[in-house]
Amino acid sequence: MRVDRAWVRRAINLVLLLLVTAGIGLGVRFLTTRGNGEAALAAAPPNRQPQAVPILAVEAQAKDFPIIVRGLGTVEAFNTVTVKSRVDGNIEKIGYQEGQYVRKGDLLVQIDPRPYQAQLKQAEANKAKDQANLENAQRDLARYAALLKSDLAVTQQQYQTQQATVAQLQASLQADQAQIDAARLNVAYCSITSPIDGITGLRLVDIGNLVQASAATPLVVVTQIKPIYVTFTIPERDLDRVRQAMTQHPLTVLAFNGDDTHQLSEGKLNVVNNTVDHSTGTVTLKAEFANQDAALWPGEFVNAHLQLKVAKNGVTLPVSAVLMGPTGSFVYLIQPDSTVKVQPVTITEVENGTALMGQGLAAGDKVVATGQTGLAPGAKVAVKPGAVGEMDAREPEIGPEGVGSTGITTGPSGAGGITPR
């Protein structure tokens, strides 16, 4: 069979042409794809570095810190006197104003003294009569004694009888003097005076009323408020350290108002009750206050701060900077490279938003005070100016999610095995 050579050559040329065309197409596509990739790489932004988390920082300070036991209490008058009349009679005068501060001996109520003045005069008259009879009997006794020596007109019996008469009259004089003293006392009782320095209460009886010594209704109540007592309770668990502190030095008690925001007065602990109330698990204490400014008032509810001692140069920190995790309390300690690390700490006491640290911090250490949410060990932070507990909201951060976001990808709450409070 004879093959047409011209046809074969044409077929081979066609195949070569197709191969060349395909190679040119592949080359163009490769170059185009490479150029687009380089352009994309050139246009792609560089890798975003994590931004610093804005926080407020606070420095641990060394200062004296009071160790305080708190209790709830009430103010009690130093003395309370319910004034009543000791004689019967009509009220002639009221010598005080309601709520007035009176001194011991000041007139409170005047009762009509005339019946008792008459009784006093009668008693004095009886004494004068008996005094005259006694003087006459003594003269007779002297005469009997002279006659008895001469055995003339007086017998021994008459002499002894006269001696008895003189003795009776002397006893009558003593009884008369007792009646005079009683009458004078009744006259004095008509002027009812204050037995103590204190504040008068509301007037309970008005002028003109008849009062009786046996009546149950008082005339007025006087309470002494300088000094004054505060009785308060503390938990039973604090009893031992309170008693130990009492053996070392007098304990100071600070009285605060009902909201526990303002100090009213300062006093000293007087006594610890001799038993624990099993129903409440508390023990009652009593403190005495000078109360010269009358800041404490009987019946007032107060918060008592019993100061056991003062910790000298204790490391302190705002309590808001301390968080609670599964292993205990911790803080975010700021490192020199502006990163944070989890620092376990212990708290000894808390007072007015300030914590006395036991272990874990030294004076001068800087910790995160506000902005702990989202922090993780090793996170970068940026310290913002401001007071503890606030963040600067005048210039909000604007991130990819909008106003208030920072565009920083942070770890979940509790990263690093710590669960913030």
Per-residue model confidence (pLDDT) at position 154: 77
Encoding tokens for residue 230?
Answer: 């505060």
Indicate whether 125 belongs to any domain: yes
Better-scored residue on pLDDT, 69 or 31: 69
Averaged pLDDT for residues 261-290: 95
Residue 44 has pLDDT above 80, yes or no: no
Residue span of the structural domain in which 168 resides: 113-189
Give domain status of residue 27, yes or no. Answer: no
Q: Is residue 125 located within the same domain as residue 59?
A: no
- CB-based contact 182:126 (threshold 8 Å): no
Residue 357 confidence (pLDDT) above 70: yes
φ, ψ (nearest 5 deg) of residue 56? -105, 140
Task: Judge whether 285 lies within some domain.
Answer: no
Collapsing DSSP to helix, strand or coil, 238 comes out as: helix
- Out of 172, 189, 206, pick the residue that ends a domain: 189
Confidence of residue 143 (pLDDT cuts 50, 70, 90): confident
Question: Distance (Å, rounded) from C-alpha 217 to C-alpha 206?
Answer: 12
- What CATH number is given to the structural domain containing 357? 2.40.420.20
In a domain, 21, yes or no: no
Q: Give the whole-number percent of the chain exceeding pLDDT 90.
A: 53
How high is the pLDDT of residue 52? 82
338 confidence band (pLDDT: 50, 70, 90): confident
Q: Between 134 and 404, whose confidence is greater?
A: 134
Q: Which of 98-102, 248-252, 335-339, 383-387 has the lowest mean pLDDT?
A: 383-387
Residue 351's pLDDT band, with cuts at 50, 70 and 90, is: confident
Q: Give the 3-state secondary structure of residue 373.
A: coil
Residue 191 vs residue 28, higher pLDDT? 191
* In the predicted structure, residue 139 carries a pLDDT above the cut 70: yes
Place of tokens 């055995």: 151
Query: Do 59 and 137 fall into the same domain?
Result: no
What letter represents residue 299's amino acid?
G
Average pLDDT on 101-126 reads 95
Considering the domain boundaries, does residue 382 fall inside one?
yes
Q: Give the residues across from 54 on adjacent strands.
A: 382
392, 382 contact by CB (below 8 A): no
Whether 138 is in a domain gets the answer: yes
How high does pLDDT run on average in the chain?
Answer: 84
**What pLDDT score was predicted for residue 20?**
65
Strands lying side by side in the sheet with 191-193: 191-193, 107-111, 89-94, 210-211
Same-domain check for residues 412 and 327: yes
Residue 254 contacts residue 352 (beta carbons within 8 Å): no
Reply yes or no on whether the pLDDT at 133 is more than 90: yes
Q: Which of 130, 154, 189 is the last residue of a domain?
A: 189
Give the separation between CA 289 and CA 402, rounded to whole angstroms.
59
pLDDT score of 99: 93
> Per-residue DSSP letters for 31-53?
HHHHHHHHHHHHHSPPPPPPPPE
Q: Do residues 413 and 344 share a domain?
A: yes
pLDDT in tens, 372-400: 887 888 888 888 876 655 554 444 443 44
- Residues 193-217 pLDDT 10s: 999 999 999 999 999 999 999 899 9
Q: How far apart are CA 336 and CA 350, in angstroms?
A: 28
What 3-state DSSP class applies to 231? strand
Amino acid at 271: V
Does the residue 395 lie in any domain?
yes
pLDDT at 26: 64
418 contacts 381 by C-beta, under 8 angstroms? no
Query: Does the pLDDT value for residue 83 go beyond 50?
Result: yes
Least confident segment among 82-96, 252-266, 335-349, 405-419: 405-419
Q: What is the DSSP string of 290-339?
A: --TT--S-TT-EEEEEEEEEEEEEEEEEEGGG-EEETTEEEEEEEPTTSB
CATH of the domain at 172: 1.10.287.470
Does 122 fall in a domain? yes
Provide the whole-model pTM. Answer: 0.65
63 CB contacts (<8 Å, ≥6 apart)? 313, 314, 316
- Average pLDDT rounded to a whole number, residues 408-421: 37
The band of 151, judged by pLDDT with boundaries at 50, 70 and 90, is: low
| DSSP label at residue 359 | S
The answer to whether residues 59 and 140 belong to one domain is no
Q: Are 256 and 287 in contact (CB under 8 A)?
A: no
Domain boundary among 139, 170, 189: 189
Q: 395 and 321 in one domain?
A: yes
Alpha-carbon gap, residue 135 to 165, rounded angstroms? 11
- Asked if residue 340 has pLDDT above 60, the reply is yes
Tally of CA atoms within 13 A in the half-sphere of 68 that contains its CB = 20
| Cα 190-191-194 angle, rounded to 5 deg | 130
pLDDT of residue 420: 37
- Sequence-ordered list of residues with C-beta below 8 angstroms from that of 233, at least 6 positions apart, any chain: 71, 72, 73, 277, 280, 282, 283, 284, 285
**Residue 96 tokens, joined:** 């005080």
User: What is the per-residue pLDDT for 320?
Assistant: 87
CA angle 139, 143, 147 (to 5 degrees): 170
Domain count, the chain: 2
